[in-house]
Amino acid sequence: MREIKIRNKEMKLGIKDKIFLGIAVLGLFIFIYEKITGEKDGSDVRERHNVVEEELGAISQGEDQKNQDLKEAEIVIGGKKMIVWLADSEETRYRGLSNVGELGSKSGMLFIHPEPGFHSYVMRQMKFDLDFVFIFGDEVVDIQEWISRDRVASIKGDSAYDKVLELPAGTVEDIGILVGEKIVMPDLPK
């Protein structure tokens, strides 16, 4: 065993002590690194989104002003009519529901992608939790419920989709939306 002399006194460290000291030193290095660089878990995700935000221009309008340019459509899902905002451009898909204070129980945002795929979603500047309904054509292909407004990791469906419906958390359960269900979207622009 390695011996350490402290003020002329000998102290023997066991394996548990060495492991503990190693973890403590590693923790200290991580703490110092985070303080110096400002990086924490998930910072790479936030950094990528900050770069995109700069490229699109800082969008810091109030929610009323921000959503004036959004189109609306009526859809029927789970037998319930809903009025949804349409996010059908790169800018509106990027902005999404960021900084929106709240949604009514029969409203949401429908993201429309030009091509099916596994499009990533994030909870950037969200003020409430969401349910995600992933749609291909007019059929629900995946659902993710109660996504926290504080989530850092991206959200994707398990099957390819060309639309995503974001609803206030709990709406999927309240309405009874199921995978395989058809959605009627008569008002969608062509």
Q: Which helix H or strand E contains 7, and what residues bound it?
A: none
- Residue 150 backbone zone (phi > 0: left; psi -120 to 50: alpha; other: beta): alpha
CA 4 → CA 10, 17, 24, distances in Å? 6, 12, 18
Mean pLDDT for the chain? 80
pLDDT tens for 71-106 read 999 999 988 999 999 999 999 999 999 999 888 878
Q: Which structural domains are found in the chain, ordered by start?
A: 3-37 (no CATH), 61-175 (2.60.120.1140)
Q: How many CA atoms lie within 13 A of 189 on its CB side?
A: 14
pLDDT tens for 124-179 read 999 999 999 999 999 999 999 999 999 999 999 999 999 999 999 999 999 999 99
The residue length of the chain stands at 190
* Helical residues (DSSP H) of 57-157, grouped into ranges: 63-67, 90-95
